[in-house]
Each structure stands twice: as structure tokens, then as C-alpha cells.
């Protein structure tokens, strides 16, 4: 029963991550990481498939194996969080809500920028940091 719940949670998170890949202002990476965590507990086969996925696999492996986020991803996340924050602040007329929004987004950025960057490839292969 619990395995089924983990598997279902993984597919829901994967679906939301897929939506994030095509819809603006919907995050992709956190949902993919959540899907991998669920799959690791519910389906080793799905977890392995996600880790080997051509689009999401490397970022996921870097996170799971090293707790690392590429600099390029940090820059993109910062730009999108800033844009989201500015749009949201413009739509919210309450100063207290703006302060709360800025605090939460600032905490998210602090978390992102305090994660280490992945180590260079050990086999001398070119880095996918530009992807």
C-alpha cells in the first residue's frame, strides 16, 4: 500500500514537473526532484529511468549525489524568482504581504546560492554545465 502511494506521488510530481517545462512561472526542477524521491521509495525502476533521462537525469544525479546545483541553473532561478517576485509584488497592494513575499523568495534564493556546484566530470568528458 505504501509503495503504491510513493509511486502515485512520484507520478503526480512528474506530471507537475512536466507542466513546469511548458508553462511559465511553474517550476520544473523541484517537482522532478520530488518525483525522484518518491520513486526511490516506490519504484527503483522508475527512479533509475528518471536518473537516466536525457533531459532531467544529469541535474537530478548532481542533486542526489552531491547536493549540487549548477551555476547556470542558479542564475536562471534567480532571474525567474526576481521576475515572479516583481510581478507578484505589483499585484499585491498590501505592504505586509509584499514583505512576506520578499522574505520567502529571499530565503529560497539563499538556499539556492548556498548549495555547492557539481564537481567536474571525472572521466575528462566535456561538462554539460552549459545545458
pLDDT tens, 43-81?
999 999 999 999 889 989 999 999 999 999 899 889 989
Q: What percent of the chain has pLDDT over 70?
A: 93
pLDDT tens, 6-23?
999 999 999 999 898 888
pLDDT tens, 72-85?
989 988 998 999 89
Phi-psi region of 117 (alpha: psi -120 to 50; beta: other; left: phi over 0): beta
pTM over 0.85: no
CA dihedral 93, 24, 65, 37 (to 10 degrees): 80
Burial, 54: exposed, middle or buried (Cβ in 10 Å; 0-12, 13-18, 19+)? exposed
Amino acid at each position: 500500500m505504501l509503495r503504491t502511494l510513493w509511486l502515485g506521488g512520484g507520478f503526480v510530481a512528474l506530471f507537475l514537473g512536466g507542466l513546469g517545462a511548458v508553462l511559465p512561472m511553474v517550476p520544473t526542477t523541484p517537482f522532478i526532484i520530488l518525483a525522484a524521491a518518491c520513486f526511490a521509495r516506490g519504484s527503483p525502476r522508475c527512479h533509475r529511468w528518471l536518473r537516466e533521462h536525457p533531459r532531467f537525469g544529469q541535474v537530478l544525479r548532481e542533486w542526489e549525489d552531491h547536493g549540487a546545483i549548477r551555476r547556470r541553473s542558479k542564475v536562471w532561478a534567480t532571474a525567474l524568482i526576481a521576475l515572479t517576485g516583481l510581478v507578484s509584488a505589483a499585484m499585491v497592494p498590501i505592504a505586509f504581504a509584499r514583505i512576506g513575499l520578499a522574505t520567502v523568495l529571499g530565503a529560497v534564493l539563499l538556499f539556492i546560492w548556498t548549495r555547492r556546484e557539481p564537481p567536474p566530470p571525472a572521466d575528462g568528458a566535456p561538462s554539460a554545465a552549459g545545458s
